[in-house]
Amino acid sequence: MPQSIAPLPSRRPPAPTRSARPARAAFAGSAPIHSDTRPAPVYPCRSGNPIPRPTEERGLESEHRHLLVYCTVPDEESALRISETLVEEALAACVNIVPGLRSVYRWKGRIEHDGELLLLIKTSTDRYPALQERIVALHPYELPEIVAVPLERGLPGYLQWIDQNTHTG
């Protein structure tokens, strides 16, 4: 006779509601990200939770010098061709090739299901326009996924390494 297993009790106390959370510091010893005296600008997202809008006034956009670029490809041959070209031409310092991705998307009115690989591309912000242009030229898709996310923080030595390997001369 199989025994039923009771679920383990939660070890964490329930999270407070969003409005009850105090402002948090970005890092130890710094000022809170949001203060009670000057609320950050917000816009709604799908979940309904407000997300702070980056503004030049708060200095978020101007500080980002490095990007993590996401790009999906259909096969290993495309992944290697694009990755090697980007690194060789100093458009990217490093490209990670992540296999085993499964994508579900709408294309030309139909729901598609495809196996893909994900490229995680580390580059500097000033190299992005040339990087994007090069990916479009090399990519087999009619409309490749190319999405860049600014890197807010990172190991200083690693970020310097990105700079050294994406700038010639």
Half-sphere exposure of 18 (CA within 13 A, CB side): 6
- Give the per-residue pLDDT at 6: 53
Mean pLDDT by 10 residues, the chain (169 residues): 53 51 49 48 53 43 80 98 99 98 96 98 98 99 97 93 87
Residue 165's nearest CA partner among 87, 110, 72 is: 87
Protein fold of 68-166: Alpha-Beta Plaits (3.30.70)
Which pTM value belongs to this model? Answer: 0.64
In the chain, what are the domain boundaries? 68-166
